[in-house]
Structure 1
Amino acid sequence: MTTSSIGYGIIGCGMMGQEHIRNIALLPDAHVAAIFEPDPAMMTAALALAPDARPAASVAELLAMDTVDCVLIASPNHRHLAQLEEIAALRPVPVLVEKPLFTDAADERRIAALTARLPFVWVAMEYRYMPPVANFIEHAGDVTGGIRMLTIREHRFPFLAKVGDWNRFNRNTGGTFVEKCCHFFDLMRLILKSDPVRVMASAGQAVNHLDERYCGETPDILDHGYVLIDFAGGARAMLELSMFAEGSRYQEELCAVGGDGKIECRVPGPGRFWPQHLGATPVPELIISPRNPPGPRLLEFPVDPRLLAAGDHNGSTYFEHARFVAAVRGQGKVEVTLQDGWWAVVMGLAAQRSAREGRTVHLAGEFTLPT
């Protein structure tokens, strides 16, 4: 790879795709070279953010442009896998693909085939790169003396409106535990350094989208739930999700506990949703609570205002792209692999199945686990 600016080809420029474009613009050594977006309004908005980018009428046309050094896939969930396969067939350049990697349990075997055909795929798990979460990950093992319990809670706003309302139905998203929560299942594996063995979930649709109709159909996506997961290393993890709690001070909260102590992380939601009459947006924070000697210690992690203005994920999208570009240049490695993306989806699918069928899902008996 040359030292010149890395040219991105962008596939899909809705809300998340445009956040990616704004963050790429902050990188000193990368730019958006081409865009494929079939919705005219979204294409217009994307080109306003990246006026030097060339519009493409298809994935194939985008890949044919020699100014494209790598590809970002930010299309609707159910498009990701087929577009990865198209890139593998036509021109296997480095790819950053938004989560989730796939949406249907019937498609899990297709990931193994991609591993050989696309040697450089980075799955976009932005939450790993939020500054307070990154510090939580770094210090959790030492603070706790070995994590035995891990809890992740997200209390947030309902799903936003998307082009064609694709995110209102499980068939397009994989279900809420796949679409929204694969981030958290990825964090669980990363933090615990272990793979899951059993998944138990209870969930439902209690408040959101019940009065909405799309071509006569009512949305079927979950809006709240609990997920309990047993890991091979002996630790236990729990996810608590509510998508009708946007009045909260913090959107994400992580807590790990072990024999030596406890560590917590609190992350506010997007600043654009914070009520202005309450003053400044809350600052992300880390709380370290040793057992002996007892005494909680709070650390704040303010985020650069430029990064906050570029997206809804506390600067993490910028840090993710900086590391991705370094890897494209051969100056780093792929940090979120196809296998990581596969596990996150399978954990979500298992949670969807457990909640739907009212039973424990044993992963080894119901999914083809990596060897």
Structure 2
Amino acid sequence: MPEEERVAGLQYGIIGCGMMGQEHLRNIALLADATVVAIFEPDAGMRALAAEVVPSARLVESIEEVLAVEEVNCLLIASPNYLHLEQLEKIAAIRPLPVLVEKPLFTDPADAPRLAALRVAYPAPIWVAMEYRYMPPVARMIEEAAEATGGIRMLTIREHRFPFLEKVGDWNRFNRNTGGTLVEKCCHFFDLMRHILKSDPVRIMASGGQAVNHLDEVYGGQTSDIWDNAYVIVDFASGARAMLELCMFAEGARYQEEISAVGPKGKIECLVPGPGRFWPEHLGEPPIAQVIVSPRDPKGPRMVEISVDPQLLEAGDHNGSTFYQHQRFQKAVRGERSVEVAIDDGWWAVAMGLAAQTSAQTGRAVTFPLAFSPKS
């Protein structure tokens, strides 16, 4: 097990135990002094899987019943995207406990006033789950980026991966439920851009659409409209610029994420493999993540492999990051550290995704500030 400081007494109530919720259950089980005591999951199949992972947990029929379990002292929301804000509001009205809420925080710009009200009134920590910050190779790159680059001027994030997986009720096949691919999938990357560059965006330009995946999938008489590829360019207030390249029909790639940052002193990049369960057995062991520093003087790249504990790789699809995120969330709950991914960060990640989709649909750049704001 990775070394960790012991954080006593967290007893989770879980709201939503689909694919991502199951990953959270497996990672919570690896934490010291943390248990899952109540689970609300309406789908019978996912509820049965959750009971296998945490047989001691109480299976309940509503959020109200989760909050009524006296032992519960923190919450995880891992339900479909379009439910997150409504569920946070219900928790706020009944028993506002510390919450780790999966991304995206919201899906509709019309919800900004509701989010603003929640932000002001909620008395406990709300942590938005942006796991990519905590992938060991990404965290290592972020830690060394300033020294390696001399100040980042260009940041590029490439994700070449598999198509969207099947989820309960196929809710993730429609933009109206997910917020759209550039929100659902890419809010992680927009969060990384702001986090790495320590600046806010001023302009976004994008091109994207649905080219290969889900074209013939029909659900309830409606054809899936979820995008599978995009380019996005973002100008930041600091003068830095960033680019996202997304392709969701490239699961044959050796690495799933490739992130590079360049400045006057040099370049630093990290290469992150996808989930090990998807790596073809005939190719042997899955690749190991790498961080590569390439100075301008003296020239010549230096590569370091960043290994991740096999237990953590087995517990989920996010290169160990879900575990490390929970460690930090626990400390925030106990008042030992501040929330690192707050409501404002969650708003920015979604706002950038919505702006990118608008740009791709209209063929025009979108400038900030937007008409909706987390402080409106």
TM-score in terms of structure 2 length? 0.97
**Is residue 10 of structure 1 aligned with residue 14 of structure 2?**
yes
Aligned-residue offset at 1:370: 4.9
Three-state SS of the structure 2 residue aligned to 1:153 is: strand
* Alignment-mate amino acid for residue 254 of structure 1: I
**Is residue 344 of structure 1 aligned with residue 349 of structure 2?**
yes
Aligned positions of 1:46-195 closer than 5 A: 46-119=50-123, 120-195=125-200
Aligned positions of 1:276-315 closer than 5 A: 276-315=281-320
Q: Does the C-alpha gap of structure 1 residues 286 and 4 become closer, same or farther in structure 2, counting only changes over 3 Å?
A: closer
CA distance in 1, matches of 2:266, 2:372: 35
Superimposed CA distance per residue, residues 231-273 of structure 1 (whole angstroms, 9 cap, x where no aligned partner): 0000000000000000000000100000110000000000000
- Select the residue among 27, 31, 52 that pairs with 1:27: 31
**Is residue 207 of structure 1 aligned with residue 209 of structure 2?**
no
CA distance in 1, matches of 2:161, 2:370: 33
Specify the alignment match of 2:240 in structure 1.
Answer: 235
Specify the alignment match of 1:268 in structure 2.
Answer: 273
Specify the alignment match of 1:331 in structure 2.
Answer: 336
CA distance in 2, matches of 1:199, 1:369: 19
CA distance in 2, matches of 1:97, 1:215: 29
Aligned-residue offset at 1:333: 1.5
CA distance in 2, matches of 1:342, 1:142: 30
Q: Does the C-alpha gap of structure 1 residues 114 and 370 become closer, same or farther in structure 2, counting only changes over 3 Å?
A: closer
Q: Does the C-alpha gap of structure 1 residues 296 and 4 become closer, same or farther in structure 2, counting only changes over 3 Å?
A: closer
Three-state SS of the structure 1 residue aligned to 2:369 is: helix
Specify the alignment match of 1:259 in structure 2.
Answer: 264
What RMSD in Å do the two structures reach over aligned CA positions? 1.2
**Is residue 366 of structure 1 aligned with residue 371 of structure 2?**
yes
CA distance in 2, matches of 1:130, 1:88: 31
CA distance in 1, matches of 2:159, 2:20: 19
Specify the alignment match of 1:225 in structure 2.
Answer: 230
Listed as ranges, the gaps of 5+ residues in structure 1 are: none
Aligned-residue offset at 1:276: 0.6
Aligned-residue offset at 1:85: 0.5
Q: Does the C-alpha gap of structure 1 residues 240 and 4 become closer, same or farther in structure 2, counting only changes over 3 Å?
A: closer
Give the number of equivalent residue pairs: 370
Aligned-residue offset at 1:20: 0.1
* Alignment-mate amino acid for residue 132 of structure 2: Y
Q: Bigger CA drift: 320-329 or 226-235?
A: 320-329
CA distance in 2, matches of 1:312, 1:139: 25
Aligned-residue offset at 1:4: 4.5
Aligned-residue offset at 1:280: 0.5
Three-state SS of the structure 1 residue aligned to 2:38 is: strand
TM-score in terms of structure 1 length? 0.98
* Alignment-mate amino acid for residue 343 of structure 2: L
CA distance in 1, matches of 2:31, 2:311: 12
Contact 2:113 2:374 in 1 (8 A): no
Specify the alignment match of 1:41 in structure 2.
Answer: 45
Contact 1:144 1:257 in 2 (8 A): yes
Listed as ranges, the gaps of 5+ residues in structure 2 are: 1-6
Three-state SS of the structure 2 residue aligned to 1:356 is: helix
CA distance in 1, matches of 2:154, 2:113: 31
Three-state SS of the structure 2 residue aligned to 1:194 is: coil
Contact 2:110 2:372 in 1 (8 A): no
CA distance in 2, matches of 1:128, 1:360: 27
Aligned-residue offset at 1:223: 0.3
Contact 1:9 1:69 in 2 (8 A): yes
* Alignment-mate amino acid for residue 126 of structure 2: V
Contact 1:204 1:225 in 2 (8 A): yes
Aligned-residue offset at 1:109: 2.1
Contact 1:92 1:117 in 2 (8 A): no
Aligned-residue offset at 1:365: 4.5
* Alignment-mate amino acid for residue 154 of structure 1: E
Q: Does the C-alpha gap of structure 1 residues 4 and 143 become closer, same or farther in structure 2, counting only changes over 3 Å?
A: closer
Identical positions, percent: 69
